[in-house]
Chain A
């Protein structure tokens, strides 16, 4: 009972480490919202706190989307596909579609969900560039980080995007039509395996362990937080108007009430039981040893296969937990750390 579901799982370890040491690929189709028209950039600038309209065609940008209270309701990657056409990659299309609808009255835009039209394969890891150079006609040497362009793979039209959710320097996303998906997957599968990599099949690896190691968030981590609390305030453009700005300015002025910190389990008993929000629910309460005040909740608890330690995030009251602090969570000894295990 309570055996560590990550540490000794060689299946998960091998898929995780394939990405870190070699290459791994996986189906990572997100929901896509296409926003187009003369006001598309202006509109996205209104619903996103980060700059969007100044994106060059063929470039991407990560941004949060806030509600009027300044709370994060989505975090997305916006890709500029053409002068007046953007793709918003989300896992929340149903809500985002409504959000766009209710805020689009004053803008000359069209929008629709195009998820059904595309599949996306993510190829990540140090050898991914070489693999993609072999698969994409003309190679991908020209492709900068967070850049996309049309490409051809074995005669099939695809869109190639450099980026990912793993923290790897080299990672690529191949968008193809559902009709081409089998053929595209076969080509990627063969090339990745020839390079010594493998398919990543475990959700917990591509959605949790790889991103967490790099300090990335899965949307559940951000639920009911604001950008200052989770360290996503750096690229906000305060010189423009955007939804949530007024509330967020107050947070900026007064300082955030909470902060997301990293932690590791350092208990010798590896069969511990700590609940975390990644499975849903409120997460395990966190107390400073010897004190009764709850100072936070465990947002995430996974495993860093690079550092060989159970790692995760705590959403804590501001300045209550500091790097190096030792705490006990549900009877298990832990230590507060940076929120990045790849540095």
Chain B
């Protein structure tokens, strides 16, 4: 074993990538990938990880209604708390005269674009708002997530309402969801004073909307595939109806995941509520995520595609550098600092900033990645190889990719 680093890109590759517009991420073999493209890959990888975490949550709470209800309550409460304690009206273009909960739609609108969930606001008023999405990388995570995201928006909207003079409350509903097979995701928020409807439980957030006849449905030919900040026709800026603008230079650091925002906190909460023990929850996550990782490269064509994607030279055979390349591309895309301690045919060692990988501050997401990578290395390289944490400095996760024999693996 040696700590030698093969000749390759400088160790500071990717540093500061978040603060330059259209910077590229770079594989260990100098394959450059555009900022936008890398974000899409990172977003989808995190969605796949999130879908696996969602399966773990389904094992922990088998009943749909109970599971969705708990997830919605957790998401609503947490985002209400966030909205109450960390207000950012200026950051969303919410004006002082915007009373009631309709300005919450501005928060959702901006958040969607930052998550590459492109689409368009179709209505924005005191009594009715509508947002239509054409793309949602999270559409593979299950309909419970669609419900929970809606209730998190309700939480943000309700928090916004408290900062202004009395206004009208809106009921936020996701009346179409790509996660349920619809062409679009569609949130319609309605005032029950103007559009009366029976009260519903928090998790019953799919509607139907009373004001469905006002819905504006975008046909396939007019749908978009990129966020505003990546579109020329938008001057490469997200701009909402109150002229709040964001460019793409902040996009990477804004990327977050369903797992970190909703699913892992829901599992933690399920353990607190006694649906399982924390130890068992961790075990289930490990099992599911490792399996998901293995499934990523179970077929040879997936390995060939990955090598092509990373620009791996033919001289590189089956070793840990393959997974190293995948990990580095992801970390650069997430603007997560890492150091390369070793990168050769025998071992790859990274020291990864835990804070950077705990997207949105969800610490358990760090381990979730590790479980996933352990599964991936088994099929991307071969079963002789493993990924494990070893001798981590404080605040870091030092991972080693190398051959390992473990009779209880």
Contact = CB atoms under 8 A, between A and B. Distances in A.
A276 to B, nearest CB: 9
Nearest to A92: B243
A2 B215 CA distance: 5
A298 B125 CA distance: 19
A3 interface: yes
A28 B97 contact: yes
Nearest to B231: A282
A280 B165 contact: no
B165 A181 contact: yes
Contacts of B165: 27, 119, 181
Interface stretch (B33-41, B115-123, B315-323, B334-342): B115-123
A11 B239 contact: no
Contact of B241 (A94, A115, A220): A220
Nearest to A91: B95
Interface string A194-213: 00000001111000000000
Interface of B: 90-91, 95-99, 102, 109, 120-128, 165, 167-168, 194, 212-218, 228, 231, 233-235, 238-243, 245
B95 A30 contact: yes
Given A115-B96, A119-B165, A280 B216 contact: no
A201 B168 contact: yes
Nearest to B194: A11
Interface residues of A, number: 35
Residue from the set B91, B123, B216, B235 with the largest chain A CB neighbour count within 10 Å:
B216
Nearest to B96: A29
27 contacts: A1-B213, A1-B215, A2-B214, A2-B217, A3-B213, A27-B99, A29-B96, A30-B95, A92-B243, A202-B125, A203-B125, A204-B125, A219-B242, A223-B239, A273-B218, A279-B120, A279-B121, A279-B122, A279-B124, A280-B109, A280-B121, A280-B228, A280-B240, A281-B120, A281-B234, A281-B239, A282-B228
Interface in A292-318: none
Nearest to B213: A3
Residue from the set B128, B212, B238, B243 with the largest chain A CB neighbour count within 10 Å:
B243
B386 to A, nearest CB: 48
A2 B90 contact: no
| 7 A-B pairs closest in CB distance | A280-B240, A279-B121, A29-B96, A94-B90, A204-B125, A282-B233, A3-B213
A93 interface: yes
A80 interface: no
A203 B168 CA distance: 11
